[in-house]
A and B are shown apart, each in its own frame.
Chain A
């Protein structure tokens, strides 16, 4: 009996040891994804503050609506309220895993819906330090993973995981992500550019829990170390399970979101 127990213990230890850093990284990403699954949809207001090296600020106000899509990337709609000259502009995105997103932009001055060639997601969103690829839904297959270490992050304990974009035309060679062990919330992300040089750091703070389960950060600070510019996203009015459907995310409705 005692021998059996020792054998079992040995087996458990061996299985654990057999998990490579790559497997552990993937497992944590899968657990994080599973934790956030089932939010169905949400709406929120985003205030984006852009800061240049001199500290001059400019703002954008955007209303965001997102629909969870099972087996594919989410559908999202962004409606611009400020700056005033782009008021009424709306962007519809069907995010996908490895294949390029489908994206349409409605330009109110011309009443024109323009499909955007979205193969390359490395470009900046609205002149900010956030690239399109930073804001799209984070599907598991978009990256390969490697667990680096356990580390304290503020008062919390974090997994530190390295992620390598699996889709083409990313602006990064890798991202290093700190996720807290209890709720898999990304606390910090460090981005390395195509030359593998330090590019940006994203710090998330003010996490709030919605529907007693889903966590969203109130504040996201992105600092570009190469240009000295930074962008802060402040989120408010988060509402989950609002009853949005596929019919709310169609091209022909873009001109009626104001």
Chain B
């Protein structure tokens, strides 16, 4: 983190020398309400929660966008869940476009992947689990990232300077395990702890109807093992263990008419163990159904993890069925409904996400999740079986 910030300082110093061709603030302020339909299982939890969040972004560019500076802080204040009141620097970086090379130095975010239900191979940034159950919100990662583009594709080289620990819900928050995670005392495999420098290399290219990417990552696992332990106050907690891993990842997509076939796969070495995981599926789109402007996409994805029941992922042997409704209207309405069915324990998780623009700069989002038939033996879902919820979020964009 310190190194990252030093780089930012240098970036600023260099950029400040030339006149800017454009600069501006944008972002959002939002209010969120969450309602859990069952009484809580653990004493400190509640039925209703509400919170406020903001994510402004400052952007300034030089040389017609060939150099730029981006600063994106994020903060949430939660009325009841102390640990969910948190802030982060999502982005603070300088960007240089040098013809065949592009360079980003500072705190940044990178997403890899093609599937909808399981973001399996995405690894550069740590997940901000406080922000949502879908794992799509990420913490800013200090890095130096170079992209070299040639006719044979793009080569991305990463030096990841310092590690970000995963965020976890506290005692008063819902959708958590019976024991809270002690985020103050993580255990690292590396003696350099959170200062271990990780690296990653990725090649990607598009060939006609094919999109393909392959990467290798070496460094601290973003996904900790949670082991029972005792915290400084002598209470039983879960201690996150961050191992050093080597991971090979693959993502591929092929477009065949209205069909899109998708695959993500990884092979990971962690201590003496080795495992593989994959998610594969398709999306079929009905374009302009019944002579309207509405598109309906149907999604089927299967996830597998060779660790089976010992997996740290909820997608060890699961099928996802989903439907995406896109009316293509002026308010950019979107609706996605889905079901994840666990083939090992027969449990089902249903989920709805919908959003729509209001007036010119407001957006309303709705999210709901419900659990059904969760088995006592399911180690990840049984503790949250009563955390069915509805969530409403209203955001103003500036």
Residues on A facing B (Cβ under 8 Å): 50, 52, 58-59, 82-88, 100, 102, 110-113, 115, 117, 119-120, 122-124, 126-128, 169, 171, 194, 247, 250-253, 256-258
Contact = CB atoms under 8 A, between A and B. Distances in A.
A4 B363 CA distance: 78
Contact of A127 (B111, B147, B257, B332): B332
Q: Is the interface of B mostly helix, strand, loop or mixed?
A: strand
A39 B69 CA distance: 32
Contact of B68 (A111, A122, A127, A256): A256
B328 A127 contact: yes
Contacts of B295: 123
Contact of A58 (B211, B287, B330): B330
A250 B99 CA distance: 11
Interface residues of B, number: 48
A253 B287 contact: no
B63 interface: no
A29 B115 CA distance: 43
B329 interface: yes
A-B complex: 8 closest residue pairs judged by Cβ atoms: A84-B397, A127-B330, A120-B287, A111-B111, A112-B111, A85-B397, A252-B154, A111-B109
Given A58-B330, A257-B65, A258-B61, A117 B285 contact: yes
Interface string B95-112: 101011010000001110
Interface of B: 26, 28, 59, 61, 65, 68, 70, 95, 97, 99-100, 102, 109-111, 113, 136, 138, 147, 149, 154, 156, 206, 211, 253, 255, 257-258, 260, 283, 285, 287-288, 291, 293, 295, 328-332, 357, 360-361, 363, 395, 397-398
B300 to A, nearest CB: 16
Given A83-B360, A115-B253, A258-B59, A123 B136 contact: no
A69 to B, nearest CB: 15
Contacts of A194: 291
Contacts of A253: 97, 102
Contacts of B206: 102, 115, 251
Contacts of B136: 110
B111 A85 contact: no
A247 B330 contact: no
A86 B100 CA distance: 28
Contact of A117 (B110, B113, B260, B398): B260
Contacts of A128: 330
A247 B258 contact: no
Count chain A CB atoms within 10 A of each CB in B99, B113, B287, B329 and give the residue with the most.
B287
Nearest to A51: B330
Nearest to A99: B208
A85 B27 CA distance: 8
A119 B257 contact: yes
B112 to A, nearest CB: 9
A183 B167 CA distance: 63
A256 B95 contact: yes
B255 A123 contact: no
A220 B376 CA distance: 63
B332 A86 contact: yes
A111 B147 CA distance: 16
A199 to B, nearest CB: 11
A113 B213 CA distance: 13
Contacts of A82: 360
B288 A250 contact: no
Contacts of B360: 58-59, 82-84
